[in-house]
Amino acid sequence: MNCYGKSTDFRGDRLVNLHPLFEPSSVAVVGASKEKGKLGHIALLNVMESGIRYIYPINPNEKEILGLKCYPSVLDVPAEIDLALICIPAKLVPSAVSQCVLKGVKAIIIFSSGFSELGEEGARLQKQIEEMVAGKEITVLGPNCVGVYNVTRGYNLTMSPTLRMMRESIKPGSIGFITQSGAFGVALFTLAVQKGLRLSKMIHLGNKVFLNDAHILEYLGNDPATNTIVIYMEDIKESRRVLEVLKDVTKKKPVVAVRVGKTEAGSRASASHVGALKSVDALYTALFKQGGAIRAKSSFEALDIAMALSLQPPLKGNKIGIITNSGGQGVEITDALCEHGLDVPELSVTTRNRLLMEKAVPEWGSLSNPVDLGAPAAQTPDWYIKSTKILLESNEIDGLIMVVLGAPLDELTSKLITRTNELFSFKKPILISAISALKNHDALVKTLIEKGFPVYMDPQITAKCMVALYEYGKYRLRSSLSDVLVKS
């Protein structure tokens, strides 16, 4: 694994410098436009609102756009260019790329579509670009690409009007997101923000003429702002190298993978979408398992799992404590956990006596596991806090799920956020399953997530996320033991 900002070129021995792609000091927008709604106008606005100091609109038919001096081509810009955003028709792209190579531009993002995803002529144009940049000191993302959003720095290097409109609500965080779908990738990014998740980077790979999954995985693996990676995959290039990078990255941070195109019809749709080749899903299953990635069944599930992995520590054992004010939901979560190899053990006499003596459970409650506080817990959130602390202090429990139905969520939220440091000091994962009709339910959930408590409505998803914490914990342990054996 290489230093931060660099990635290995898997078709040669040189290093690919991704720093200009994610943190450019100067950006040229090739195809910049005055017309609102045009790709070149949106891209230019996004760059201008990112606070990047040196911006060069490129358009031979304009002298000035949005108050910035315009240049006929990148060759006419009297300064170095870190990144060029290409927003012109596909047939003109090879010429623009050639000029970028001559100019010494360090990185290119090709927004334009009309390449291998649209047949032989598009594939020919894409091959031209590939040959132009082969062996050159230039990095290319795309074509058919939405771009890069470096949330850590506030750099919106995309052609997305949606991401521009929601700019104020996007807060920097620790989840890196790699996607092979543009529109759906933006939709998932939007959903993540609405759920209260905070991302570090978003990258749309497009047709992967140069940069592919392995390059970006390696970059995010070394990115200090990223602690969890989500990858949405339709096809794969350099599968052996991806496996090598995955094994390296997952030793230090979790990767959640979603792979679509599993069926024949899905694979056909993927091929028409990004020019992906048909492939066997079993190979992806094996790759993710060997590489230590957690495979999600859907993109929405991937976001839920990523929330747990980014906010909570991995499980060090399989024993889960459950505290609930609903016997039914406690049983459902218990079944779901046990079906996936986790245990919901009976509590010892010592722990049950402590729950009773410290009045952590009402006299009508259950001292079993799940610890059932009963419906009156709606009036007494203190029971949640006391019983949670006792279970976390016990060596009988490796992780905890809190089930909160109805009114307790309001007062419980304020009590939890004042005890965050104390509860997290046990380094045991805590997940919350909450359903209520409170008007401020969504705001309460966002507050809890911002303070580090993953919150879910669906008990099955809650259990699935705890299972993911267990799977990643097991993988980390195996990897560390394997490294020790190799070194010895």
- Residue 470 pLDDT exceeds 90: yes
Beta bridge partners of 29: 57, 85
What distance, in Å, lies between the first and last C-alpha atoms of the chain? 21
CA 356 to chain centre: 42
Average pLDDT (136-140) is 95
Q: How many CB atoms lie within 10 A of CB 291?
A: 20
423-459: string of b/e by CB count within 10 Å (b at 16+)?
bbebebbbbbbbbbebeebeebbbbbbeebbbbbeeb
Mean pLDDT of all residues in the chain? Answer: 92
> How long a stretch of residues is the chain?
488
- Residue 165 pLDDT exceeds 50: yes
> Class for domain 6-309, per CATH?
alpha beta
Fold held by 315-474:
Rossmann fold (3.40.50)
- Residues sharing a CB contact under 8 Å with residue 124, sequence separation 6 or more, in sequence order: none
Q: Which regions of 267-370 does DSSP assign to beta strands (E)? A: 294-295, 320-324
CA 384 to chain centre: 31
pLDDT of residue 407: 73
- Residues sharing a CB contact under 8 Å with residue 198, sequence separation 6 or more, in sequence order: 151, 171, 172, 173, 174, 175
pLDDT, tens digit, for every residue of 314-353? 999 999 999 999 899 999 999 999 999 999 999 999 999 9
List the domain boundaries for the chain. 6-309, 315-474
Residue 281 — very low, low, confident or very high, per pLDDT cuts 50/70/90? Answer: confident
Beta bridge partners of 480: none
Closest CA to 177 of 195, 168, 126: 195
Q: Do domains 6-309 and 315-474 have the same CATH topology?
A: yes
Residue 40 — very low, low, confident or very high, per pLDDT cuts 50/70/90? Answer: very high
* β-pair type (228-233, 147-150): unpaired
Residue 485 — very low, low, confident or very high, per pLDDT cuts 50/70/90? Answer: low
- Residue 278 pLDDT exceeds 50: no
Edge to edge, the sheet with strand 139-141 lists 54-58, 26-30, 83-86, 107-110, 139-141
How far apart, in whole angstroms, are the C-alpha atoms of residue 20 and residue 338?
Answer: 48
pLDDT of residue 6: 64
pLDDT, tens digit, for every residue of 2-20? 556 766 554 444 468 999 9
pLDDT of residue 364: 85
pTM: 0.92
pLDDT, tens digit, for every residue of 169-228? 999 999 999 999 999 999 999 999 999 999 999 999 999 999 999 999 999 999 999 999
Average pLDDT (432-442) is 94
458 token code pair? 């669906």
